[in-house]
Structure 1
Amino acid sequence: MKTKLFIYRAWKQPLEDFEQEVNDFLATVQLVDVKISGATLGSSEDMSAQTTLLVVYQ
């Protein structure tokens, strides 16, 4: 099995581009599992969110 990590940072990349990148990759592999985690970053004045996908595939 292999793994690939996708990190979505809303301030750097449009959501549609991130979704397309993940979907294009998943179309080329045999998927085993996907794990999703989210985190908030920054201070109370300047917050953002980051989403991470861990894809396990063969």
Structure 2
Amino acid sequence: MFSVGDKVHLKSGSPDMTVEAVDGDSVHCVWFSGMNPVRDTFKVASLSKKGGDNWDTPGGKILD
């Protein structure tokens, strides 16, 4: 499961995101586009923790 402050990525690929809140199977994330913060909500099943299984580099390349 995810916790506030975890660094995550979409399994399909995305910028680094930080978990702001978890609400059941929804995870509220924030990331930056340039200097602007962007927020969105994703399903738990669509995310992977950065540095966890399936990540081979700090850049977050997903291994299949």
Which has the greater radius of gyration? 1
Q: TM-score, normalised by structure 1?
A: 0.22
Tell me which protein shows more helix as a share of its residues.
1
Tell me which protein shows more strand as a share of its residues.
1
More RCO (CA 8 Å, sep 6+): 1
